[in-house]
Structure 1
Amino acid sequence: MNIKTFVAFVVVALMIVIAMPLLRGKYKEPVPSSNNSTGLIVGTNAIYVEDQAPSKTILVATVRLEKPGFVIVFDDANGVPGKILGRSDFLPAGEMENLLPIQLSRKTQDGEILYIALHFDDGDGMFDVTKDQPALDSTSALPVMTIITVSTEAAESPDAVSL
């Protein structure tokens, strides 16, 4: 190795050694968040409902409530929840799987959009849309809700998912 090669090697090595601490703060390992995670993100309140076949019932796979409440099924009113089609019985706080089917006021149609939301009970054990407030997501402060599509191709018995 001649002197020029040796000097060039030393200069490059010094540049790397000097640059490392400067770059260390800029390139950190990613921290899991709702923006870069590939898993199911849930908070203290969560619901999982798969797309369903046309029916007069809705099958809820999994619910998590931090306080007692209800699962409410709404029809679509131009892209927002509309008329209430059905509700669950009173649910205790905690995580539940494979709830009893929620009876609807009418049969759903192929291609129809439904909104399924969580509401907290006001303490009387009876659902009242004016008193029982929507459960809010702990991160976004938006109502905990899922949107499904009614489809003749949907599975007949949705599977539960652990939250």
Structure 2
Amino acid sequence: MDTKSVQFLIIGLVIGFIVGALAVDRGFILGGNPLEDELNGATTTPRDLGLPSAGTVSSSGASTDEDTTATSGIVLAGKNAVDAENQPAGSMVTLPLVVLNQMGWVVIHEDAGGKPGNALGATLVFAGERSGVLVELLRSTVKGRTYYAMLHNDDGDKVFDLKKDLPIADSTGAVIQISFVAE
């Protein structure tokens, strides 16, 4: 290769790298940046999941409106839903599905006599359907113990405050939450 060809090759690679970096930064390749979209005022409308409007959907597909706390299946109310599965004990919880009609929080609570107790960790979730939501915990879960994934509103400041960012409830006032066990 002569010098001119090498120069063109290097210039082409640099231009390609810059174009690629800009495309990823602007969301053309990875489907957008939800944080940037939210901060710029863009909204995402949750898509209809084709699920009943309230209650618990069990793994068999049966719906119950008696309680919005489940131990398996997806808990949903209106356009809000949360799913959790039993998972290894540790400092991170993974939720297969979270759907919110507006930006809010998923909070992991430890069990306190069959009800949600202390909050162990929270993560901000933007409006819409999200899968594989990770919640980092301040204290690790313990094998064999029960925990709750609970949906909370955000008061608009994008900073979690247990006293201000209240739990999201269904039309009957029941909090939207699902329990799981650390294995």
Q: Under a length normalisation based on structure 1, what TM-score does the superposition of the two structures give?
A: 0.64
Shift of 1:107: 2.1
Q: Structure 1 residues 86 and 34 mapped into 2: Cα distance closer, same or farther (>3 Å)?
A: closer
CA RMSD of aligned residues (A): 2.3
1:75 aligned residue:
110
Aligned residues of 1:45 and 1:136 also touching (Cα < 8 A): no
Shift of 1:80: 1.2
Query: Which structure carries more strand by proportion?
Result: 2
Q: Structure 1 residues 77 and 92 mapped into 2: Cα distance closer, same or farther (>3 Å)?
A: same
Q: What letter is aligned with 1:115?
A: Y
Q: Distance in 2 between matches of 1:87 and 1:64?
A: 15
Q: Distance in 1 between matches of 2:125 and 2:57?
A: 33
Greater RCO structure (CA 8 Å; 6+ sep): 1
Residue 119 of structure 2 is aligned to residue 84 of structure 1: yes
Displacement over 2 Å in runs of 4+: 33-38, 40-43
The total of aligned residue pairs comes to: 116
* Aligned counterpart for 2:165 among listed residues 103, 108, 132: 132
Shift of 1:141: 2.5
Residue 153 of structure 2 is aligned to residue 120 of structure 1: yes
Q: Structure 1 residues 34 and 83 mapped into 2: Cα distance closer, same or farther (>3 Å)?
A: closer
Q: Distance in 2 between matches of 1:53 and 1:144?
A: 23
Which segments of 5 or more consecutive residues in structure 2 lack a partner in the other structure?
1-53, 64-75
Q: Distance in 1 between matches of 2:95 and 2:151?
A: 11
Q: Structure 1 residues 35 and 121 mapped into 2: Cα distance closer, same or farther (>3 Å)?
A: closer
1:64 aligned residue:
99
Superposed CA deviations along residues 21-75 of structure 1, whole A, max 9, x for unmatched, are xxxxxxxxxxxx9699942653311100111111111001100111110100011
1:95 aligned residue:
129
Identity of aligned residues (%): 33
Q: Under a length normalisation based on structure 2, what TM-score does the superposition of the two structures give?
A: 0.58
* Aligned counterpart for 1:111 among listed residues 144, 166, 183: 144
Q: Distance in 1 between matches of 2:161 and 2:138?
A: 16
Q: Structure 1 residues 82 and 59 mapped into 2: Cα distance closer, same or farther (>3 Å)?
A: same
Q: Distance in 1 between matches of 2:180 and 2:163?
A: 24
